[in-house]
């Protein structure tokens, strides 16, 4: 299971043409910054190219020179978020069998909360990601890919369909939690509650082999398969026993 790397998609998604000068790159960045501010204020659905031109202090012709419509603008803005996720998050999802699931989840959730707090428009773009071709689809798929990688690291021989289902549940829960109407992604106490929630989900669905959940009737949803944390516990117990001899 791997992420789409930065070179796996066309680097200028959403643009009418490829910029050839640094000045053009700077102008495109200004238009995207303006689009981001507008989306933060009024949402994606209400966004227009006229809004972006006014926000950026340029003519509508300047917007159309690079972007044919608001969909293209939002798509390129979404791709900029994808690039941020790929750059910042991949280093967090390390394949370290000695790292228990809760701290792994915590480091990723805190980083995502920081991203959403710094860029509130991410949620607005993602809300429009329900169908193919929508601006936030690749961004949502990137986040699901991140979650799939976490699940693959922590769960023994998980089938692809189950990995995808679990990852989608984690991403949907995370985004809904961080979009709470009266709580902020900057609220560390609230974000920690999300870490508890995801950790409990993972622990219940994929507990160690000796967890009572496997044998206790009526104790809630039955676990699906052992998590790799069971192996970690066995290894540590074996090491402790060896040190005592």
The pLDDT confidence band at residue 98, using thresholds 50, 70 and 90, is: low
The model's pTM: 0.81
The pLDDT confidence band at residue 8, using thresholds 50, 70 and 90, is: very low
Share of the chain above pLDDT 90, in %: 46
Q: Which CATH architecture has domain 74-234?
A: Orthogonal Bundle (1.10)
Q: Which of the pair, 4 or 174, is modelled with greater confidence? A: 174
Q: Which of 48-52, 106-110, 176-180 has the highest mean pLDDT?
A: 48-52
The pLDDT confidence band at residue 133, using thresholds 50, 70 and 90, is: low
In the predicted model, is pLDDT for residue 17 greater than 60? yes
Strand partners, 227: 155
Q: Which of the pair, 229 or 211, is modelled with greater confidence? A: 211
The pLDDT confidence band at residue 237, using thresholds 50, 70 and 90, is: very low
Q: Which of 49-58, 76-85, 86-95, 212-221 has the highest mean pLDDT?
A: 49-58
Q: Are 194 and 188 in contact (CB under 8 A)?
A: no
The pLDDT confidence band at residue 103, using thresholds 50, 70 and 90, is: confident
pLDDT digits 0-9 by tens, 23-37: 888 999 999 999 999
Distance, CA of 163 to CA of 171 (rounded, Å): 12
Would you list the domain boundaries of the chain?
Answer: 74-234
């Amino acid at each position: 299971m791997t992420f789409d790397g930065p070179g796996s998609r066309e680097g200028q998604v959403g643009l009418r043409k490829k910029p050839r000068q640094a000045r053009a790159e700077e102008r495109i960045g200004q238009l995207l910054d303006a689009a981001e501010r507008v989306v933060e204020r009024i949402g994606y659905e209400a966004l227009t190219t006229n809004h972006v031109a006014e926000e950026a202090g340029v003519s509508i012709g300047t917007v159309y020179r690079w972007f044919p419509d608001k969909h293209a603008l939002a798509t390129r803005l979404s791709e900029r978020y994808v690039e941020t996720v790929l750059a910042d998050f991949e280093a967090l999802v390390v394949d370290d069998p000695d790292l228990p699931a809760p701290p792994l989840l915590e480091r990723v959730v805190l980083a995502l909360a920081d991203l959403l707090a710094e860029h509130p428009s991410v949620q607005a773009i993602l809300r429009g990601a329900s169908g193919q071709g929508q601006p936030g689809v690749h961004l949502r798929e990137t986040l699901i890919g991140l979650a799939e990688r976490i699940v693959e690291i922590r769960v023994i021989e998980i089938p692809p369909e189950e990995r995808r289902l679990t990852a989608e549940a984690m991403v949907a829960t995370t985004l809904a939690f961080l979009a709470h109407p009266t709580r902020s992604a900057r609220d560390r106490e609230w974000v920690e509650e999300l870490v508890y929630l995801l950790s409990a989900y993972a622990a219940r669905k994929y507990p160690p082999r000796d967890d009572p959940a496997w044998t206790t009737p009526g104790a809630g949803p039955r676990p699906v398969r052992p998590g790799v944390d069971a192996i970690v516990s066995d290894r540590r117990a074996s090491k402790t026993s060896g040190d005592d001899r």
